[in-house]
Amino acid sequence: MKVLIVDSDGRFVGQARDILESCGHYVVHEPRPEQALARARKWRPDVTLISAELPAASEGDLLRRFGDVRPRPAVLLVVSLDRFDKAWQAWQRGGDEVLFKPMLQPSELHVSILVARENALLPRRPGVMAHPVAKSA
């Protein structure tokens, strides 16, 4: 599976990368939203982990633009436990699942990705998704 991580939290990114790569997944980290979007259009990830604490994510613009990527990757929003407000705002604008930091077990990441991928395939709230979702190879 191809996973794109859009987060500036180096500790989380390192932990997530180690977990995912140890399971054979391909991981690309791009902390800057504009560059991440360009990478997603070319690389076509199956799942995108996006920090809900990025202003562009909680305001919805970044999620809307990731929703226009074809095929659309599942979107897992990542946020610190004390920033539930940011997670809620971003989720309402198009996230498929939320993962709270810090992760205590690797299984938290695996389960969250599975749920995000399942939710990405479900009928959506009006205006959130109207296009096919990426499926892993």
Per-residue pLDDT of the chain (137 residues), as tens digits, is 999 999 999 999 999 999 999 999 999 999 999 999 999 999 999 999 998 887 776 556 777 888 888 888 999 999 887 777 777 776 777 789 989 999 989 999 999 999 999 988 887 643 444 444 555 54
Structural domain includes residue 135: no
Domain presence at residue 126: no
| Residue 130 in domain | no
pTM of the model: 0.83
Residue 57 placed within a domain:
yes
Buried b vs exposed e over 42-60: b needs ≥16 C-beta within 10 Å?
A: eeebbbbbbbbbbebbbee
The structural domain count of the chain equals 1
Backbone angles phi, psi at 122, to 5 degrees: -75, 155
Find the CATH number of the domain harbouring 104. Answer: 3.40.50.2300
Domain of 86, in residue numbers: 2-121
**Both structure tokens of 83:** 């920033």
Strand 74-80 to 47-51 pairing: parallel
Residue 136: inside a domain, yes or no?
no
In a domain, 133, yes or no: no
In a domain, 131, yes or no: no
Which residue blocks in 24-105 are alpha helix, DSSP H?
Answer: 33-43, 55-58, 61-67, 84-92
* Residue at 59 is within a domain: yes
CA angle, 12 then 20 then 86, to 5°: 40
